[in-house]
Amino acid sequence: MSSAREEVEDLERDVDQIRANLGELVGELNQRRHDAFDLRLQFRQHAGRMILVGAALLAVMAGGIVLAVARLRQRRSLRYRAGRFGQAFRRALAHPEHLAETQPSVSRKIAAAGGSALAAAMGKRLARRLVSASG
């Protein structure tokens, strides 16, 4: 009987020790969570890295803007536009049938004009209703 009682007491001590260890682990994890979301602490600890990442992001954005402006200037240049016109002209000479296919027919032009006139009239009517309803 005493051996069973000793076994129970040993198990209770083991359980108490495991609970104490778990409590310490949970406390440590809680502290780490607080530290991870404390921005001031993170900036103090990793200021150099954060500045480096910010500078890299700024450089990437500036590089993208520089490339976009350079591309825009290139496309606006007379030399670029003349080259594109030459390419289009050569394509038109090589395949005149494609040029004829891309032109909209008269009936499509009439339908587009009628559709836009109808949309404009409906827009005016809707605007009048909205103005008269709110006034």
Residues 98 and 128 grouped into a single domain: no
Residues 58 and 17 grouped into a single domain: yes
**28-63 burial, b if ≥16 CB within 10 A, otherwise e?**
eeeeeeeeeeeeeeeeeeeeeeeeeeeeeeeeeeee
Is 46 in a helix, a strand, or coil? coil
Residues 87 and 124 grouped into a single domain: no
Residues 111 and 95 grouped into a single domain: no
pTM of the model: 0.43
Residues of the chain with pLDDT under 50: none
pLDDT one-digit tens code per residue, 34-49: 999 998 999 899 999 9
The token duo for 119 is 């949309």
Residues 87 and 131 grouped into a single domain: no
The token duo for 2 is 């005493």
Residues 59 and 72 grouped into a single domain: yes
Residues 98 and 126 grouped into a single domain: no
Is 45 in a helix, a strand, or coil? helix
The tally of domains found in the chain comes to 2
pLDDT one-digit tens code per residue, 117-130: 999 999 999 999 88
Residues 97 and 109 grouped into a single domain: no
CA pair distance 98, 105, nearest whole angstrom: 14
Domain residues for 127?
A: 104-135
